[in-house]
Homo-oligomer: A and B are copies of this chain.
């Protein structure tokens, strides 16, 4: 059981070493990651660059997913929208994904933390159950946006803190975790909290505002993408279904 929860709200701050990390880019990378595995994708690879994603997908016969500036790069099979994660497209397939902020956050966390999973509101309950079953402290890592603290990710960190606090007696929080929890508790409605963020507003001009509603659906999924391997700087996530209530 974890005893300390720390939250890294800013992408400019280093991730402190810890045995367990939950990485959050709720609008939209970690939400889409959960939806891809929930729709039956076999595994999900994250790469830092579009070029690395193309090369890896070609080697693995995988689908290509992701975005730059909110939209899929040329030749990609899927964007970074959870609404595209449909079973008829992804079931049984490996997916290679690259996004702007979420991928970078996952790579930062995986650089110092051995056990890493991708969390969002869609699988917040699953993320909390998984983290509780680990040994040792938990660090929550917000992807942020353009190098800055992001409201939407901080809110989801708060949801995770509140979930862990409700289940683990005597858990210790650092300042970031306390701040995130206060933000979460101040907004009973996830949709309005996410909608106020810069990330949500940036989806409007590219016609993807409907994604925000999907990103706000809490505990829609029981699956958690958990780090299962690394290869040539890419991270491989496999679907895990944490037990418990």
Given contacts A10-B9, A148-B13, A149-B10, contact A182 B187 (CB under 8 A): yes
A133 at the interface (CB under 8 A from B): no
CB-defined A-B contacts under 8 Å, sample of 20: A8-B148, A9-B9, A9-B10, A9-B149, A10-B10, A10-B149, A12-B12, A12-B13, A13-B147, A13-B148, A13-B149, A148-B176, A149-B149, A152-B175, A154-B179, A178-B197, A179-B179, A183-B183, A185-B186, A186-B186
Complex-state Cα separation, A185 to B196, whole angstroms: 16
- State how many residues of chain A have any CB contact under 8 Å with chain B: 27
A150 at the interface (CB under 8 A from B): yes
Chain B residues within 8 Å of A186, by CB: 182-183, 185-186
Give Cα A10 to B149, complex, Å: 8
How far apart are the CA atoms of A145 and B185 in the complex, in Å? 24
Q: Does A135 contact B (CB under 8 A)?
A: no
- A58 lies within 8 A of chain B by Cβ: no
Q: Which residues of B contact A179 (CB under 8 A)?
A: 149, 151, 154, 179, 183
Q: Which of A174-217 contact B (CB under 8 A)?
A: 174-176, 178-179, 182-183, 185-187, 196-198
Given contacts A10-B13, A13-B147, A149-B176, list 4 more A-B pairs with CB under 8 A.
A9-B10, A151-B179, A175-B197, A182-B186
Residue on B with the closest CB to A185?
A: B186
Enumerate chain B residues within 8 angstroms of A149, measured Cβ to Cβ: 9-10, 13, 149, 175-176, 179
Residue numbers in B under 8 Å from A187 (CB-CB): 182
Closest B residue, CB atoms, query A10: B10
CA distance A182 to B193 in the complex (A): 10
Flag A143-167 by CB within 8 Å of B: 1 or 0 each.
0010111111010000000000000
List 8 A-B pairs, minimum CB-CB distance, nearest first. A10-B10, A12-B12, A151-B175, A182-B186, A186-B186, A12-B13, A182-B183, A149-B176
A182-B183, A183-B182 given; A145·B12 CB < 8 A:
no
A114 CB → nearest B CB, Å = 22
CB distance from A117 to the nearest CB of B (A): 22
